[in-house]
Structures are given as structure tokens and as C-alpha cells.
Amino acid sequence: MSETRKPGPAHISAEEWADVDSPELTDADFARMKPAREMFPGLEFPKPKRGPQKAPTKVQTTIRLDRTVIEFFRESGPGWQSRLNDELLEVVAKARRKAG
């Protein structure tokens, strides 16, 4: 089976592009890597912004909860708000099953 390759940049001939060899990065290569911000301190790197939800499924609100509830979920690490939402969804589902 022949290998299909994407064409290279216009300024490189197909023969030269076919000869390009990019070796796999080793653990040592990864250890030497630095963030672009450190390598190019004069450049501004824009913070990526999250786009709008295509179909918003959640509503932003403000509620007051006991400190112990917040601490419990925050201790579980990133994503704690989603886990709290999941727990509340279970309570709602259970209440609906019981009522109906």
C-alpha cells in the first residue's frame, strides 16, 4: 500500500519534502523544552478564550451553600463545580422518580 503524504510548503520541491525526516522526540528532548513564553519573553501570547456554547445547557446563578459543602467538593480538585452539579442532578432525578 502506498503512503499518502500531504504536500509540503510551496518553496520546497516534492522530492525535498519527501526526504524530510523528523525523528521522534525523546524524554531528554522533552526535558530540555521550555514554554514559548520563556523562550520569547518579548512576544505577547494571547490567552485562549473559550467560545460561546453552541447550545447552552446551564444557567449561571448565585447561591449560598454551607462552607463544608464547598470545601468538600473543592478538595476533589479541578472540575468540582461539575461534580457538584452531577450530585444535584442525581437528587433531582431521585425526587422525580419518587414523585412520579
- Is pLDDT above 90 for 77? yes
* Domain ranges across the chain: 67-99
Q: Distances in Å between the alpha carbon of 48 and those of 17, 45, 54?
A: 32, 9, 18
Q: How much is the average pLDDT of 59-73?
A: 94
* pTM summary value: 0.46
Using one digit for the tens of pLDDT, what is the confidence trace for 15-30? 887 777 778 889 999 9
Which of 5, 24, 25, 27 has the alpha carbon at shortest distance from 16? 5
Q: What is the pLDDT of residue 1?
A: 47
